[in-house]
Structure 1
């Protein structure tokens, strides 16, 4: 299941207006921002839009985080739900073994939230994957997309 996607945009205000209007009919709404100053170097300002499940925390849901595009930036950033910290570790190890490039070994990422455990890899084309386990999420159900 996809947990979150970062979309790099050229104009945050214009993009935020677009996504809020486009996703409003399906129940998505803005729910908060993440300030780069609150975390480690390299984590940008982020502007969150999520579905009702993601925002409420009642079940695993999905979110989009808008970020200001950096000159020359390409690629996708995709957060993948993992049911446990061990699953994060295993996915990270498999990605590295498959030729992935380390962008953050598995660890607690409490600057996002307590119980947020993740690892990051990049493929050779610049696309990024984050394997993430959030302690407050129950394991995914078999067959649920």
Structure 2
């Protein structure tokens, strides 16, 4: 649905560690590293998710970004990885029938307090 998304981070090192852990089970990793800007991509190698140092404005507003998982098992594995990181879990993995049948997701906070979701639609 989107071409790419970019987040400005207060602590790029902490955000990199968080997203590398969370997104690894989805096959997403850092494919471009410009020092203060990172591009993450899936198997196609095209960076569609970017992280950069906070450069504009003051306090950030919370954003919500959701990543698609291939199965509930992947959602569960991400939950366990995030738990080991000590990151805040907003909602443990569960089905959200109010969205649609089969909507299974975990919600967490990244180091900049953004709301990150990983969802399986199976």
TM-score by length of 1: 0.41
TM-score by length of 2: 0.49
